[in-house]
Structure 1
C-alpha cells in the first residue's frame, strides 16, 4: 500500500512538472508534504536523511558569487566585446555565441550563463535586425552540451559529483571534456547548416551601430570589479585543484560566497544579494530530494535496480549503454534533474550488487541526462529559462519547432557518446 501511495504522488508530481503550469518548487514541495502526510516518513527523517544539503549549499553559494560578480558588468562586457569583434556578421556571431555559451556553461553553469547572455543577445539581435530563433536554439543546445563538461556546468553533474565522493572536478573534465568538444563542434556546424538560409536572408546589418558599441561602457570600474573577478578565478582554480587540496567543492563555494559578501557589503547589502538568489530552484531541489527519498524508502529504487540488472544481466557494458540511452531519451521529455535524482540510488544499488566497472555507468548517466536535455523545451532548466526570457522580449520559441531540431541533436549526441563510452571504457 505504501509503495502505491508513493508512486502515485511521484507520478502526479511528475505530470504537473511536465505540464509546467504551476511553479515547479510548489509542485515538489506539495509532493514532499503529501509523502509526510501519508506517513511515508516524518519531516525529520525526510530532511535529515534524504535531502542532499551539500548540493543545495553548492548551488546557493554559486548563485551568490554570480549575483555579486554580475553587478560589475563583466559578463555584458564579454558579450559586447565578442559582437564587436565579429562586426555584427550573422554567421560569425552565430559561431561565437555558441562557443561563448558552451565555455560559460562549463565554467559557471548553464542556467547562470543563459541568464546573463540571453538578454544582451536579444538586445543585439534586435538592433542588428537578425532573426532570433536560430540564435536562441544555438544558445540552448550549446548551454546543455557545454555544461556537460564539468562538475558544476549542469545540475545533474553537480548531483552526481556529490553522490560519488571520489569524483573530483578534474575527473569530470578528463572523462567528459573530450567527447563534449567533439559533440559541440559537430552540432555547431550542423546547426549552421540547418539555419544557413535564415542567417543570410533578409538581414540588413546596421554596421554604424556596431561601430558605436563600446564594451568598456558596461564595466563598473570600482574595486569590486577587480576583487570579484579575482575571487571568481580563484574559485575556479580551487575547484580544479580541490582533489589535491583535500577540500570539498561545497566548502570552497561557501567560503568564496562569504568572501564575496564581505567585500561587497558596502556596495550592496547581503539582504539585497539574498533577495536575488533563485530560491525557487533551491526549494525545488529540496522538495525533489524528498520525493525521490519516498521512492527509496518504499523500496521502489531497489526494484528499479533489480529490473535493470535483469535486463542487462549485471553486465557493466550493457548497463552503461542502457543508462546512456534511457537517460538521453527520457531527459528530453522530463526535466533531467528529477530523472538523475531517481537514477543515482539505482546506480548505487548496482555497485552494491557487484557490477564492475561501475564508473562508466556514472559517466553514461551524466552524458545521457545532460545531452538529452536538448530534446525539448522541458528537458533542462536552461531551456525553460531561455524560453521565458525570450517570451518577455516578444520572441516566442515554438515547442514543436524546437523539438524538431533538438531531437536531431540528441540522437547525434547519444550516438557519438555511445562510440566514446565503448571505445574508452570497454575496448
Structure 2
C-alpha cells in the first residue's frame, strides 16, 4: 500500500510540475509532506537522510554572490561591450551570445546566467530590431551545454558532486570539458548557418548601439571591486578545493559571507536575501522529499535491479544505457528530479559488483545536462528563459523549440556515446581481457 501511494504521489506531483499550472515549489513541497502525512517516512528521516542540505546551501551561497555582484552593473557592462566588439552585426552577436552564456553557465550556473543575460539580450535585440527566437534558443542551448562542463554549472552536476566526494570541480572540467567543447562548437556553427538569412539589421540601429557607453552601466564603488575579487576567489576555491581539502559548500558559504560583510554599507543583507531565488531552493527541498519517499519504499532499489537485469551488470552496457535513458527522460521532464532519483540508483550498483562507478556518474551528468535541451521543460534554465521572453511579449512555442532542441539532444548523445566509449569503456574492456 505504501509503495503504491508513494508512486502515485510522485507521479501526480510530476504531472503538475510539468504542466506548471501550480508553482512547482508548492507542488514538490505538497508532495513531500503528503509522504510525511501518510507515514511513509518521518520528518527526522527527511531532514537527516533525504534532503541534501549541502546542495541547498551551495545554491543559496551562489545566489547571494550573484545578487550582490548584479548591483554593480558588471554583467550589463560585459554584454554591451561584447555586442559593440562585434559592431552589432547579427550573426557575430549570436556567436558572442553563445560564448558568453556558455562561459557564464560554466563558471556561475546556468540559471543565474540566463537570469542576468536574457533581459540584456532582449534589450539588444529590440534596439537592433532583430528576431528574438534565434537568440533565446541560442541562450538555452548554450546554457545547458556550457553548464555541463563544471560541477556548479548545472543543478544536476551540483547534486552529483555533493553525492560523490571524490568528484571535484577540476574532475568535472577535465572529464566533461572536452566533449562539451566539441558539442558546443558544432551546435553554435549549425545555429549560425541556420539563422544567418533571418538575422539582418539596419545600419542606423547598429550605430545607435555603437554610441552606447558600456562603462556608464558600471557603478564604480568599492562594491564593484570587492565583488570581482570575492567572486574570482570563490571560483578559484572551487577549482582548488581538491588540493586544499575544503568542501565546495564551505568555499561558497565563505565567499558569500565575506562579500556580505564587505558590502554591508552599500547592500543591506535583508535586501540581498530578498533577491535569493527562494522558489528554486524550496523546490529542491520538496523534490528531495519526494524522491526520499520512493527510496524509502524500495522503488529505487527495484529501478537499479531493472537496469542491472537489462545490462546483466555489464559496465559498458550500463553506462551507455544510463546515458541515453537520462538524456531522453531529461528532455521530457525536468532533469533535476530525474537526477535526484538516479543518484541512489547508481550508488546501489556497488552492491551488484560494479566497483568503478565513475563512468556511470559521467554518463548520468552528460545525459541529464545535455538532455535538458530537448524541450522547454527539460531544464530549469529553459523555463526561466521562456518566462522572461513571454513577459517581454516574445513567447517561445513549445513545439517550435522542440523542433530545434530535440535534434541537438540526439546529436549531443551520439557524440557523448562515442566519447564515453573511447575514454572510459575501451580501457575497461582492454583491462578485463
Provide the residue aligned with 2:328 in structure 1: 329
Quote the Cα distance in structure 2 between the aligned partners of 1:398 and 1:198: 18
Provide the residue aligned with 1:56 in structure 2: 56
Aligned residues: 426
Provide the residue aligned with 1:131 in structure 2: 131
Mapping of residues 17-28 of structure 1, within 5 Å: 17-28=17-28
Mapping of residues 10-409 of structure 1, within 5 Å: 10-200=10-200, 206-409=205-408
Would the aligned equivalents of 2:28 and 2:290 in 1 still touch at CA under 8 Å? yes
- Tell me the CA shift for residue 204 of structure 1: 5.9
- Tell me the CA shift for residue 386 of structure 1: 0.4
TM-score, length-normalised on structure 1? 0.99
Quote the Cα distance in structure 1 between the aligned partners of 2:74 and 2:36: 45
Quote the Cα distance in structure 2 between the aligned partners of 1:211 and 1:407: 36
- Tell me the CA shift for residue 194 of structure 1: 1.9
Would the aligned equivalents of 1:130 and 1:203 in 2 still touch at CA under 8 Å? no
- Tell me the CA shift for residue 203 of structure 1: 5.6
Quote the Cα distance in structure 2 between the aligned partners of 1:248 and 1:211: 44
Q: Helix, strand or coil: the match of 1:59?
A: helix
Q: Helix, strand or coil: the match of 2:331?
A: coil
- Tell me the CA shift for residue 214 of structure 1: 1.3
Which contiguous aligned blocks of 4+ residues in structure 1 show a shift greater than 4 angstroms?
202-205
Q: Which moved more, 1:36-45 or 1:361-370?
A: 36-45
Q: Which moved more, 1:154-163 or 1:347-356?
A: 347-356
Quote the Cα distance in structure 1 between the aligned partners of 2:141 and 2:75: 20
- Tell me the CA shift for residue 357 of structure 1: 2.8
Quote the Cα distance in structure 2 between the aligned partners of 1:339 and 1:204: 47
Quote the Cα distance in structure 1 between the aligned partners of 2:12 and 2:289: 15
Q: Deviations over 1:43-85 (max 9, x none)?
A: 1221121100000000000000000011011111100000010
Q: Deviations over 1:14-40 (max 9, x none)?
A: 111111111010000000110011100
- Tell me the CA shift for residue 208 of structure 1: 2.1
Would the aligned equivalents of 1:129 and 1:204 in 2 still touch at CA under 8 Å? no
Quote the Cα distance in structure 1 between the aligned partners of 2:215 and 2:281: 34
Stretches of structure 1 that go unaligned for 5 or more consecutive residues are: none
Would the aligned equivalents of 1:75 and 1:116 in 2 still touch at CA under 8 Å? yes
Would the aligned equivalents of 1:88 and 1:205 in 2 still touch at CA under 8 Å? no
Distance 1:203 1:328, change over 3 A: farther
Quote the Cα distance in structure 1 between the aligned partners of 2:203 and 2:399: 28
- Tell me the CA shift for residue 205 of structure 1: 5.5
CA RMSD of aligned residues (A): 0.9
Q: Deviations over 1:374-427 (max 9, x none)?
A: 000000000000011111111110110000000010000000000000010122
